[in-house]
Amino acid sequence: MTFTQKLLKLDRRWIYLMVAICIIVPVIVTFRVPIQVTPETKGVYDKIESLPKDSTILLSLDYDPSSMPELYPMTLAILDHIFTLNRDKGRGLKVVAVTLWPTGPGLGVSAFAAMEDKFGTNLVKRGRDYAFLGYIPGGYAVVIGLGQDLKRISPTDYWGTPTSQEPIFEHLNSIRDVAYMVELAAGATVETWITYGSKPYGFPMGAGVTAVSAAGYYPYYNSKQITGLMGGLKGAAEYEKLANVQGNAVPGMRAQALLHFVLVIVVIVVNVLFIVERSKGGK
C-alpha cells in the first residue's frame, strides 16, 4: 500500500488524536478569535434591546447538561444583557423562566444564582425581578396551559413559593402578556413553542439551539416566525460580543475555530490525494 492509500484509509484513532490536540492546545495557548456577528443572532439581541420599559421576557431552558457547553453561555449572556439594561438604563425588564425538560431545573437555578452573584440581590431579586417555575411535565400541553392561566399550571415556583405571592406575577396572568420569548433548545421544542405558544398567543420569539440542529431552523427564521436564531457555541459567542459579556463562549471558540480549520485542511488534502489516486487508476 502506498503512503497515499494508507492516508486515505487512515485509522480513525489518528483522527481522534488530531481532534484531541486541536481542543487541548487552545486551552494552553490563547489567541484572539475574531467573532463576526451574523444577522440571525442580532435579531435576538436587537429585539431585547428594543423592549419597552417593564416588559416581561419568557425564557424556556429546554436543554440538559450535555448541551450545556453550547446553550448555558447563551443563557448567561441573555440574562446578563437583560440585567445590564436594568442596571444601566433602568429598563425594569423582568424574566420568567420555565423548562420542559426534567434536567433543566439545575441549570436554571445555576444561571440565576450566577446573576445574583454578579448584580447583587438588590437588582436581581427572586420573585420581583425574576421567577423560575422549574420543570413542568407535559410538553406542548404545558405551553397551551401557560397561555390560558399561568398560575393554575404553576401554582408555585421552583422553590415552592406560591406564584400568587410573587410581585412579578401580579399583572402576568398568562404568557400572552409577555413581550418576548427566547427558547433555548437542545431538542425539538422550538417547533412546540412556535406552534402552541408564539403563533396562537401572539408574542414574538427568538431561539438558541445547538449547532447540530441550527440548520433546520432557518425556514422559521426566514419566514419571520422567530426574530433571531443563535446556533451553537458560535451563536453564544456572537451574543457575548454584542452584549459585551465576558463569558465562556468566546474562549471556547478558539478550540472550535482551530479544529474547523484543521479539519478543512485535512479534507482538502484527502480529496486532492483521492483525485490524484483515482487519476492513476487506483481505488
Partner 1 sequence: MIKHTTVLILVLAAVLALATSVPAQQGAKGGGPPAAKAPPAAGSAQTAGRAHTPAPADAAAQESAKTKAALDSFIMPATVELIDYPNDDGRSLALKFPKSPSESPNFTYVVYVSKSAGGPWYRATGAASTSGKILMSANPADFGWAEETSETHIIQVELAKVKIGEEAFKGRDGMPQKNLEGEPIKKDLMLWDKSTRPGSTFYVRLIVTNKSGIERQVGPVLSGAPVEQWADPAKANNFIFSVLFCVVVLIFIAYARRNPNLFIRKIPGLSAVEEAVGRATEMGKPILYLNGMDPIGSLNTLASINILGRVSRKVAEYDSKLIVPCRDPIVMTVSQEVVRGAYADAGRPDAYREDNIWYVTMEQFAYTAAVNGIMLRERPAANFFFGGYYAESLLLTETGASTGAIQISGTDALTQLPFFITTCDYTLIGEELYAASAYLAREPRLLGSLRGQDIGKMFILVVVVVGTVLASLGKVWLDHMLVTK
Partner 2 sequence: MTFWKKKFPIALAFICGVVMFFRFFSPSHLADQTLTEFSDWDIIISAVASFLGIFSLLHNHYTKLRRKVPGWGYSIVVYVGFTVMALAGFLFKVDTKANLYKDGLVGVFMRMTLHGSPPPTEGVTTIVNPFNWIFMNFMVSLGATMFALLAFYIASAAFRAFRAKTREATVLLIAALLVMVGRVPLWDFLNTAFSPVSSWIMNNPNMAAQRGIIFGIVLSQIALSLRIIFGIERTYMGGGD
Q: What are 58's strand-pairing partners? A: 96, 181
Stretch that binds partner 2, among 46-54, 73-81, 83-91, 131-139 (CB under 8 A): 131-139
In the complex, the smallest distance separating the C-beta of residue 28 from partner 1, rounded to whole angstroms, is: 28
Q: Which does 154 bind (CB under 5 to 8 A by kind): partner 1, partner 2, none?
A: none
Q: Confirm or reject binding of residue 171 to partner 1 (CB under 8 A).
A: yes
Applying the rule CB under 8 A, the residues between 49 and 108 that interact with partner 1 are 64, 66-67, 102-103
Q: Confirm or reject binding of residue 5 to partner 1 (CB under 8 A).
A: no
Residue where the block lists cell 390560558: 148
Q: Confirm or reject binding of residue 39 to partner 1 (CB under 8 A).
A: no
Distance CA 279, CA 40 (A): 43
Answer for the pair 64, 223: CB distance below 8 angstroms, yes or no.
no
Applying the rule CB under 8 A, the residues between 186 and 245 that interact with partner 2 are 212, 215-216, 218-219, 222, 234, 237
In the complex, the smallest distance separating the C-beta of residue 232 from partner 1, rounded to whole angstroms, is: 11
Q: Confirm or reject binding of residue 162 to partner 2 (CB under 8 A).
A: no
Q: Confirm or reject binding of residue 191 to partner 1 (CB under 8 A).
A: no
Report the residue from 2, 5, 6, 10 that binds partner 2 according to the rule CB under 8 A. 10
| First-to-final CA distance of the chain | 11
Which residues bind to partner 1, rule: CB under 8 A? 64, 66-67, 102-103, 127-128, 139-140, 161, 164-167, 170-171, 186-188, 210, 212-216
Which residues bind to partner 2, rule: CB under 8 A? 10, 12, 15-16, 18-20, 23, 33-36, 38-39, 64-69, 103, 106, 109-110, 136-142, 144-145, 148-149, 153, 159-160, 212, 215-216, 218-219, 222, 234, 237, 253, 257-261, 263-264, 266-268, 270-271, 274-275
